[in-house]
Amino acid sequence: MSEQQHKSTRKASEPEAQADTTEVDAERKEKLDDDVDSILDEIDDVLEENAEEFVRSFVQKGGQ
Amino acid sequence: MTVRRVQGSEVEYGIAVQGQPHANPMVASTHVVNSYAAAHGLTRRARWDFEEENPLRDARGFDLSREVADPSQLTDEDMGLANIILTNGARLYVDHAHPEYSSPEVTNPLDVVLWEKAGENVMRLGAELAAKIPGTAPIVLYKNNVDNKGASYGAHENYLMRRDVPFDQIVEHLTPFFVSRQVFTGAGRVGQKQDGSVHAFQISQRADYFEVGVGLETTLKRPIINTRDEPHADPKKYRRLHVIIGDANCSETAIYLKHGTTSIVLAMIEAGFLTRSLALSAPVTALHDISYDPTLTQKVELEDGRTVTALELQGEYLRLAKEFVAREGSDEQTDDVLRRWESVLDRLARDPMECVRELDWVAKLALLERYRERDGLDWDHAKLHLVDVQYHDIRLHKGLYHQLIRTNRMDRLLTDDQIAATVTDPPRDTRAYFRGMCLAKFSKDIAAASWDSVIFDLPGQDSLQRIPTMEPLRGTAEHVGRLFETSNTASELFAAITGR
């Protein structure tokens, strides 16, 4: 069973191409920064509205 | 050598009733469990059978007396709280003030991920159904471990081990491994110290709540190695290693590596392969120090005087594992765990952010750092605490982990369809198959069940009939699958098994 389940897994990280030049790095960083902006925008949309109130009232009883 | 071993996990979920911060969490937890039971025809609610539970039995060979035990340690006294068995062989119940899902016994780490993830689906649905009870407010569940105000609740692992392995060997070789494995099992936390009074990030949710090296307690003075000795199986042959130091992971890779690498280290301990001690001078302090340093450069001191990083300690266990495999051979899943373990350690050493698609603490830290940068927030800002907690919200449209999955920013090992199937189906290769199938086919005739028994209440019989299941690898589909195909009633099944 478990062998089949592995079909959907990604190969453990392939080494990144070694030929990165500084220029490519900069381009990649810019792309990453764009992605970062879009992540935060998306998350802003789902974050609970009143952070302070939420955090103050998140009180749990101890468990194991 | 193999990662294959009978194992499972238990997760206590954080619980909040929206708009009612003072709502009784026991009541809310009970609503979640009972709503799920009622909606799934588990209305007779086969009770949990506590006969074989010994939470005060210590692996070092003595029993703690009930008089000196803290009331929270008496987990075998049926509090009248909801407690049911699911058709997938899992236990769904209320433990202290949290709903808890204990996975069925499985035989390998990838199956742990499957049936633990099934538990998230169960909890999600239970909470949704509970919200439909007239007069109740929405209940939100969190797969995390802390409220950052002093309370912690557990995510435990269980591993079946040979009884004849000396416990001091387990303590000696497992402690440095547990102290350092947080570099990939950590779920990340905003706040240091139990009450979060130091405003900074740390790798592990649970680290601050561990105060001693070895002990029986699980609710106070928590130990790195827990000595609870309830094998739920033949005690002459087996012990169940009850591991309480892990974080509740959302990441499939983290759950997989947590169980996979631990299984590998246990295999080496059982074989007597680990001879050189990596004992730490001060394990509890090292646990905290490592957790407090997301750059992973913190050094900790070994008893032999050397100082090493957590990554170096893990690297040493990995090196030994590869040596052991070279000698003993392995199998496909073991090779996969070793490959991923090595890859994660290599990348963490270069730059932890290279594991942002796989590990909870890195994914969470990446989000937090971006908020800090964009909005100029300090670590005491409520928004960062909110991101920390909401990462673990199990609702698909609100949980930030789920947001990362949905937008393909984190890797998966499993598909939604695979997980959906395990919500109802038991593993086929352990006794959980027998337990789950009994519930699926004959739930109205099952009076109670536990890890090591199923108790029938058969029509026309005055007394209850108990079928012990003390061997975790019996009662599999291979052993009893045909009996379920040929038995039309619980009485027929019982007769076929017992000859009565």
CB contact under 8 A, A12 and B343: yes
Report H helices in B181-248.
182-185
Kindly state whether residue A47 falls inside one of the protein's structural domains.
yes
As for how many domains chain A has, the answer is 1
Q: At B471, is the secondary structure helix, strand, or coil?
A: coil
Residues of B in contact with A6 (CB under 8 A): 110, 332-333, 336, 413
Residue B149 forms contact with A (CB below 8 Å)? yes
**A37 neighbourhood in chain B, CB within 8 Å:** 374
CA B164 – CA B237 distance, rounded (Å): 7
Q: CB distance from B110 to chain A under 8 Å?
A: yes
CA atoms within 13 A on the CB side of B350: 11
Q: Is A41 among the domain residues?
A: yes
Residue B12, helix vs strand vs coil: strand
Whether A26 maps to a domain, the answer reads yes
Q: Is A36 part of a structural domain of the chain?
A: yes
**Across the interface, do B340 and A52 touch by the CB < 8 Å criterion?**
no
Interchain pair A61, B96: CB under 8 A: yes
Cα angle value B155/B250/B413 (rounded, 5°): 120
Give the gyration radius of chain B's Cα atoms.
22
- The CA distance from B151 to the nearest CA of chain A, in Å, is 4
Q: Is B95 in CB contact (< 8 Å) with chain A? A: yes
B413:A5 CB<8 A: yes
- Chain center to CA of B233: 19
Q: Which residues of B are catalytic?
A: 95
Can you count the helices (H) and strands (E) in chain B?
A: 15, 18
Q: Is A5 on the interface with B (CB under 8 A)?
A: yes
Say whether A54 and B382 touch across the interface (CB within 8 A).
yes
Instruction: Give the whole-angstrom CA distance, residue B278 versus residue B303.
Output: 8
Flag whether A13 is in a domain.
no
Kindly state the tokens that stand for B204. 């592990």
Q: Is A62 on the interface with B (CB under 8 A)?
A: yes
Kindly list the structural domains of chain B, giving each domain's residue range(s) and its CATH number in brackets, ordered by start: 7-421 (3.30.590), 428-498 (no CATH)
Q: How many contacts does A have with B, using Cβ atoms within 8 A? A: 133
Residue A6 lies in a domain: no
Asked if B385 and A46 come within 8 Å (Cβ–Cβ), the reply is: no
What does the buried/exposed string (b/e) look like for A9-43 if buried means 16 or more CB atoms within 10 Å of the residue's CB? beebbeeeeeeeeeeeeeeeeeeeeeebeebbebb
Range of the domain at A33: 21-63
pLDDT given at position B177: 98
| pLDDT tens by residue, chain B, 500 residues | 999 999 999 999 999 999 998 999 999 999 999 999 989 887 555 666 776 666 656 665 555 544 455 545 545 444 456 889 999 999 999 998 999 999 999 999 999 999 999 999 999 999 999 999 888 899 999 999 999 999 999 999 999 999 999 999 999 999 999 999 999 999 999 999 999 999 999 999 999 999 999 999 888 899 999 999 899 999 999 999 999 999 999 999 999 999 999 999 999 999 999 999 999 999 999 999 999 999 999 999 999 999 999 999 999 999 999 999 999 999 999 999 999 999 999 999 999 999 999 999 999 999 999 999 999 999 999 999 999 999 999 999 999 999 999 999 999 999 999 999 999 999 999 999 999 999 999 999 999 999 999 999 999 998 999 999 999 999 999 999 999 999 999 999 999 999 87
A36 touches chain B (CB under 8 A): yes
